[in-house]
Amino acid sequence: RGVAGVRRLLGGFIRSVHPDLTPSFPEEARRINQRSLAELNAFIDRLESEGRRPLEEGPEAARDLPFFRSHETRTGRILPGRVLPLQLMLPSLPAEAEEPDREFAAVRLIRDAEVLLETPASSFSSKPDVP
């Protein structure tokens, strides 16, 4: 039967990073979002596919997809042309993922995307944490 509705449940995240819906983003941020959305859509297609995927297509390794979202002030005002980096983690999937594996990955993906959208701008930094 497949895991249904993943794309719909990710709608808020997808709308917030979609290059066609974010014309004020810098061109490089829009290009990165476009490339990462293509990977995300392919992953969602695999989650929503019915039955097993052929073994020769291999497993999906967990990886981070870079995205950019609008920069909002603490009062909720969007700053045009300013963006914040995001990293959405795609969970791993075995080569022949059963439906429970795909459901678990879908739940993690949806939760992680929601958390990223709720994280305030002050939590992001372009500089690494140095102990």
pLDDT per residue over 38-65, tens digit each?
A: 999 999 988 887 765 555 566 788 999 9
Please work out, in degrees rounded to the nearest 5, the angle formed at the alpha carbon of residue 41 by the alpha carbons of 85 and 46.
Answer: 130
Indicate whether 77 pLDDT > 60: yes
Judge contact between 61 and 43, C-beta under 8 A: no
pLDDT of residue 78: 81
Which tens digits make up the pLDDT trace of 9-23?
Answer: 999 999 999 999 999
pLDDT at 85 over 70: yes
Which is it for the CA torsion 53, 92, 126, 110, positive or negative?
positive
Q: How many CB atoms lie under 10 A from the CB of residue 55?
A: 10
